[in-house]
Amino acid sequence: MFKKLVSNYFNSIKDRKFFYSAIILFGIFCSSLGINNFRFDASSETLILDNDVDYQIYEQTNDDFGSSDFLILAIQSSNEIFTLDNLQNLQNLRDKIQVIEGVDSVVSVFDAPILEQPKLSLIKSASNDKYLLEDELNLPLAKQELIDSPIFSELVISKDGKTLAFQINLDGKDNYDQTVIDIRSEIQTFKNFNINLAGPSMIVFDTINFIKNDVITFGTITVLVFFIFLYLIFRDFWPVTIILLNALIVMFISIGVMGLMDWPISIVSSNFLALLLITSIAISIHILAKVQTDGDKNISTSKSLSDIFMPCLFTALTTIVGFASLILSDIKPVIDFGKMMSVGVLLNLLSSFVFIPLALELKNIKSLTHKNIADFVYNNGYVQSKGFIKKAWIPFLLIFIPLIIYLPTNLKVENKFIDYFNKETEIYKGMETIDKNLGGTTPFDIILSLPEAIEEVDEEDLFFSENSETAKYWWKKDNMDKLQKVQNEVSKIDELGKVLSIANGIELAQNLNNNQPLGDLELAFVRNSLLDSERAQKVLETFIDETEKSTKIFARTIDSSPNLNRNELINSIDKILQKNFEGTEIDYQITGLGVLYNNLLQSLFSSQIKTLSFVLASIFLMVSFLFRSLLVGFSVMFIPSISVGVVMSSMSILNIPLDIMTITIASICVGMSVDYAIHFAWRYLKENDEKKTLLSAGRAILITGSTIIMGFLVFLFSNFNPTILFGVFSGIAIFFAMILSIYLLPRILDLQSK
């Protein structure tokens, strides 16, 4: 019944060309309504788990202490940087950045009080603060004071004094694209300095920019490579034109649908367009190769299309299942990617079996008049290796399979932001400079909270008045001592750089107090007098909330540290906090972008297992239903399983960790590589002849596989390392699937028939 419906559909195309053409045009028109809404999402939310409870804590922390989004401008000069002329130029740059939309404030050497020209007692220091370019100062002494400052060293100046920094605090918007563009535009006008821009908010922004450039540059190169390669295969411009036009229609409609659904492109889904192009070309090649091969046998085009529809339908469905399995992940951008690709592959199937038959009605493709790639493979490899493979394949698999099962268990999930980028890119250089000289990049926040306190005031105290301010909460000596002790222990962790809190301000005050410890009275003075200026209050409010019951320790990770393991780092911090605050009334929380990213990393293993288990089980059932045989289903699934096992084992051997992009490789490759096994098994079980199968289905597999591998290898020229890895390992998986389908699958199918 179903076969008859399919046959009637393809037979009807000749008489209803205008109707089906109108369907294509209607689809293009409807999708065009969403084109303008198609966008790239560079927000930090693309790096979080779905329903991550720590994200709620992160958001609450931003509400209490202000946005934790910031950029760092690392500034160096070939000569002495701390000169009057240089400082005046940098103040001009600071002022220009300060007014850029999206910038909340800029912390720099111009905001750091100089308190030791001359050095006075703690009490007199409240009115002794001076500022660069506002007061008359000895610049070398001021520079040294900042280098020695417990607050400003590694915050606005490096320990060697050769690098200055602007910490550009952002205002909490969802998107800083234009802000970054405007800052970079201002930087370009200051040619006398070597300036690098980096920071957490730059990571996603630059990643998306690299992806956009890859889409434009590599998209063009890929289409050109495909055009040349496909022409060499078909020796005719018309089939090549059909394939590329169909891909263009599929991509246009899919982009429009993504816009209408408001599904933006994120870091994970950055290869959406490339994968859509590849899957579209794959199905088009299978269709046209079948039509061209059958043309030699005088089989009608409608009959060829009817015959190829069923395997194409199931290969599309298995690919959809591969992508849909990503929905089981706990990672929000991976889930979105799975949805996008599932819809894209479905649209690809529908478009291909409407547009290609219409194009063939307009002008059919030429029959084969020359030897093709399948003839070459059969005569120059297949025949010669057939005997050896028959003898060796079982012993080989008995050794090989345990290896590809064991090796992936050693895969790691820890990776560093800095490793995502090419060493020649600005963000790599910026992150490297900041890590080495300015206290690190990725932030962690430690929030410490005290219970509500009952204020006890001695009214007999000669110094008491109704309006007097007394030391309370974190400004009491006992609590401040606890804060300082914890911060000192946290600061000793090698993978952390700059660690900052109100305790740094107290350390500065102790220096002014001749290194004598501060009691409650002095702490109250520091709070109410020394930190009374508008500038000081601006800084203070980022470290202590308005109730003064909660305070924040801000720490930055040395992302380039060779021993960095975020999970172990968080556990080390937690042990310190637990040791110091267990049994007390002080509550603590560890939050920040570093925590969110670690949560995502730690979920990768479970997500990989869930998605891969689902896709293998689902496709096995589908293939078994297609062939009406569990044994054939097992044989077909053997091919993608080995291909993915090779990829995961290679990553383990090369010590390449799972990340938010490489986690998608396994499910995607199962969904795509099973296509070859289905097409070959479908034809082989019908023909029961290896040569005929190789010259028909094998030809389509070789053309498709070679084309797709070339498309993936174009990713090698990306500036974004996860894209390179994605391309390389996807290409490896497709190569193994292609070779195993042709050489090994017949042996397994023959074994079942005995």
Phi/psi of residue 103, each to 5°? -95, 125
The Cα 89–Cα 82 span in angstroms is 11
The Cα 126–Cα 121 span in angstroms is 9
pLDDT at 112: 87
pLDDT at 367: 66
Contact indicator for 535, 542 with CB cutoff of 8 Å: no
Run of H or E residues at 448:
strand 442-449
505 pLDDT higher than 50? yes
Q: Which 3 state secondary structure label does DSSP give 551?
A: strand
The β-bridge partners of 119 are 116
pLDDT at 163: 92
What's the total number of domains in the chain? 3
State pLDDT tens for residues 166-176. Answer: 989 888 776 77
pLDDT at 370: 52
**Does residue 263 sit in the same domain as residue 366?**
yes
The verdict on residue 444 lying in a domain is no
**Does residue 472 sit in the same domain as residue 531?**
yes
CATH number of the domain that 384 lies in?
1.20.1640.10
Contact indicator for 271, 207 with CB cutoff of 8 Å: no
**Does residue 228 sit in the same domain as residue 320?**
yes
**Does residue 195 sit in the same domain as residue 332?**
no
**What sign does the CA torsion over 89, 94, 97, 99 have?**
negative
**Does residue 12 sit in the same domain as residue 73?**
no
Task: Please state, in angstroms and as integers, the Cα–Cα distance from residue 305 to each residue in 6, 294, 299, 682, 689, following that order.
Answer: 9, 10, 10, 15, 22
pLDDT at 563: 80
State pLDDT tens for residues 312-322. Answer: 888 888 888 87
**Does residue 199 sit in the same domain as residue 209?**
no
Contact indicator for 218, 717 with CB cutoff of 8 Å: yes
**Does residue 513 sit in the same domain as residue 615?**
no
In the β-sheet with 194-198, what is the strand arrangement from edge to edge? 103-107, 163-170, 70-76, 194-198
State pLDDT tens for residues 651-684. Answer: 888 888 877 667 777 777 777 778 888 888 888 8
**Does residue 191 sit in the same domain as residue 278?**
no
Mean pLDDT of the chain: 81
**Does residue 540 sit in the same domain as residue 581?**
yes
Contact indicator for 292, 305 with CB cutoff of 8 Å: no
Of residues 347 and 48, the one with the higher pLDDT is: 347
473 pLDDT higher than 70? yes
The verdict on residue 593 lying in a domain is no
**Does residue 194 sit in the same domain as residue 212?**
no
The verdict on residue 198 lying in a domain is yes
* 66 torsion bin: left (phi>0), alpha (psi -120 to 50), beta (else): left
User: Residue 142 is encoded by which pair of tokens?
Assistant: 């001021």
User: DSSP string of 493-539?
Assistant: -TTEEEEESHHHHHHHHHHHTTTPPP-HHHHHHIIIIIT-SHHHHHH
Phi/psi of residue 111, each to 5°? -100, -5
The verdict on residue 423 lying in a domain is no
In the β-sheet with 442-449, what is the strand arrangement from edge to edge? 496-500, 550-557, 442-449, 587-591
**Does residue 606 sit in the same domain as residue 538?**
no
Contact indicator for 211, 40 with CB cutoff of 8 Å: yes
pLDDT at 446: 92
The Cα 603–Cα 289 span in angstroms is 42
User: Per mean pLDDT, which of 219-228, 239-248, 717-726 is the most reliable?
Assistant: 239-248
Contact indicator for 370, 235 with CB cutoff of 8 Å: yes
Q: For residue 303, which of 283, 280, 285, 287 has the smallest C-alpha distance?
A: 287
Instruction: Provide the residue range defining the domain that includes 497.
Output: 468-585
649 pLDDT higher than 60? yes
Run of H or E residues at 447:
strand 442-449
Helical ranges in 688-720 per DSSP H: 690-693, 699-713
Q: For residue 572, which of 410, 432, 444, 436 has the smallest C-alpha distance?
A: 444
pLDDT at 338: 83
Contact indicator for 362, 24 with CB cutoff of 8 Å: no
Q: Vertex 482, ends 480 and 484: CA angle to 5°?
A: 70
**Does residue 342 sit in the same domain as residue 242?**
yes
State pLDDT tens for residues 146-165. Answer: 999 888 898 889 999 999 99
Q: What's the whole-model pTM score?
A: 0.76
User: Residue 236 is encoded by which pair of tokens?
Assistant: 């005719």
What percent of the chain shows pLDDT beyond 70? 88
